[in-house]
Structure 1
Amino acid sequence: MDLFEIKVEITPASVDETDNLLLELGIEGWSLLEDVIEKRAWVVGIFQSGDEARAQWDALRPQLGGAPIGEAGLRALGNSDWRDSYKAHFKAWKFGRLHWVPVWERDKFTLPRGEEVIWLDPGMAFGTGNHETTRLCVERLVELPFNRDARVIDAGCGSGILALSAAKLGYENVRGFDNDPDAVRVSIENAELNDMAGRVDFFTGDLVTGLAGHKAEIVMANILANVLIEFAKELTDSVAPGGVLILSGILASENEQVRDAYAKIVPQWKIEHRTMGEWSDVLLRAP
């Protein structure tokens, strides 16, 4: 079955703003491509039909303001062509003993002894984990002292990459939830892609129902700053004594605001933060 690609060039100056918008909207099917050498960038959508592609563009276009500088181009794209078009942008990467490798490199990839791999489908839902917000979370997770009995919660799991990474590292009690049933479905599919069906308890829930009655030594939430602030009480209440709360999805310019909000709720907790590009994280350690 052919897929349909709709692609429009945007101004280089609007890349960060457009990236933030796509992240905030959470609309499945859209991505941002950037050529830093040529200083050009494009918004690209891949959909099941030409009509759907045009309808999705009509909905997105007004929110982009003056970013587009060209007309949207539509073309039929076979599955193999679609996957091949992503290969130039999605590369394997690693941190510590965990590798994230595109599934098309599965046959030629050699995993070093004692290390683990997450296979990444270049599809619209899983991506590569290369976005700074994901990498900040993953790096924090890898750096933590390992205890296989530690409970892990991925709040707002999206495509499941953080929860599955935790399971690959050897954590045996991992839960992931999202308020979007499609995200939960995709997370389960990605677990199957990695021969990890049933290793993570994925379910539908929000930051109230998903956390209610549960505590964990490691809680991760890669969402958005305003949501993290709004649900700070629920997130901190879900951290077991001596546990950590890893927050991401925070623009660097919003980091102080997030830290201040949490310091008011849990003033006795230790708070750290890091920046990666335009993005940042906050790590809280419970006493």
Structure 2
Amino acid sequence: MKTSSLWQVFIPLRKGQEEAVQDWLEDFFQTPACAYTAADSDAASVSVYLSEKPAPSTLAELRERLRHLPTLVRHARQGAGDVLVKRLTARDWVKAWQRNIRPIRIGKALLIRPTWDTTPPRPGQQLIVLDPGLSFGTGHHPTTHYCLQELVRLSRRGTATFLDLGTGSGLLAIAAARLGYRRITALDNDPEAVRVARANARANGVGRQIRFFQADVASYTLPRHPAFDVVAANLTDELLVQHAARIAGCAASRGHLVLAGILTERFPAVQKTYADLGLQLLRRRDRGEWTGATFGVP
């Protein structure tokens, strides 16, 4: 049987650059990117895999844009930001791609792994099996990772309720179900994301515990039942500011609002917006160029 070829576009980096460049490269090619970080050095890289060799004009544009990418400009080193192209067989590509997807542990509470990984959960650890795909949210990105950590920290088995604004792959909602949140609602404005999220929830045995539906944060209104104890909004900082009153209104009194997807340089504007609504900043975490924050609702 003939094996088709794929093309790897490979960008060597320094450790700490890969997360921001991964997001940027995904936007450029409109296809998922893989990040790799060496355990024994400061080397890292980001790659995309394409069915056709990129045109010279595309590579020229990519190199030009990379020269001005803030992440690389601020952390420049020799070789960082080079663009390399390599031809791979499909079999080689699958192995390389899967090798870069690592299981994720969120403390002692959660283990998130792809279907091809056999890492066993530790005693008391809840297992989530989720393959990377087009929908955002596998737990590797620092914004999703922060939300997962906060879900674990804020969980009160059998009592807490949860709303996921911009569910993507459904990971946060699935994690909430695994952690014992009792009423879980998740929405996304992308119908394909909602379809994938439902399928992921069913595959993890929690499909009946989560209400998924398509909606936009700009038009979403609370149903008749009470607001939620924990609300996660892993969106862009522009959306978090623009729709702050609507987002904050989803959280119950004395509840918690977990915000992510915020560029660190934009966090002061986000913080001020929610402080003006009477919310108190309780926790903040910066990782690379990204900030996650948890606010308390009076």
TM-score, with length taken from structure 1? 0.80
1:166 aligned partner: 176
* Count of residues in Structure 1 that have an aligned counterpart in Structure 2: 278
1:178 aligned partner: 188
- Higher mean C-alpha deviation, range 118-127 or range 136-145: 118-127
Instruction: Report deviation, 1:75.
Output: 3.0
Instruction: Report deviation, 1:221.
Output: 0.7
| Cα distance in structure 1, aligned partners of 2:141 and 2:267 | 17
Matched, 1:97 2:113: no
Which residues of structure 2 form unaligned runs of 5+?
73-80
- Higher mean C-alpha deviation, range 195-204 or range 88-97: 88-97
Instruction: Report deviation, 1:98.
Output: 2.1
Instruction: Report deviation, 1:128.
Output: 4.0
Partner secondary structure for residue 269 of structure 2: helix
Matched, 1:206 2:208: no
Q: In the TM superposition, what whole-angstrom CA distance separates every residue of 1:216-270 from its partner, at most 9, and x where no partner exists?
A: 2211011121221111111011112222111011233322221111111x22x32
- Higher mean C-alpha deviation, range 35-44 or range 176-185: 35-44
1:237 aligned partner: 249
- Higher mean C-alpha deviation, range 277-286 or range 143-152: 143-152
2:230 aligned partner: 218
Closer, same or farther in 2 for the Cα pair 1:195/1:10, shift >3 Å? same
Instruction: Report deviation, 1:23.
Output: 7.2
Closer, same or farther in 2 for the Cα pair 1:272/1:120, shift >3 Å? same
Q: Is the 8 A contact 1:155 1:210 kept in 2?
A: no
Closer, same or farther in 2 for the Cα pair 1:19/1:64, shift >3 Å? farther
| Cα distance in structure 2, aligned partners of 1:216 and 1:24 | 33
Q: Is the 8 A contact 1:224 1:250 kept in 2?
A: yes
Matched, 1:228 2:228: no
| Cα distance in structure 2, aligned partners of 1:164 and 1:5 | 34
| Cα distance in structure 2, aligned partners of 1:28 and 1:246 | 28
Q: Alignment partner for residue 88 of structure 2, among 75, 79, 86?
A: 75
Q: In the TM superposition, what whole-angstrom CA distance separates every residue of 1:23-56 from its partner, at most 9, and x where no partner exists?
A: 7779442233344755544432245xx24x748x
- Higher mean C-alpha deviation, range 19-28 or range 216-225: 19-28
Partner secondary structure for residue 113 of structure 2: strand
State the one-letter code of the partner of 2:170.
Answer: G
TM-score, with length taken from structure 2? 0.78
1:6 aligned partner: 8
2:35 aligned partner: 32
State the one-letter code of the partner of 2:163.
Answer: I
The alignment's C-alpha RMSD in Å is: 3.3
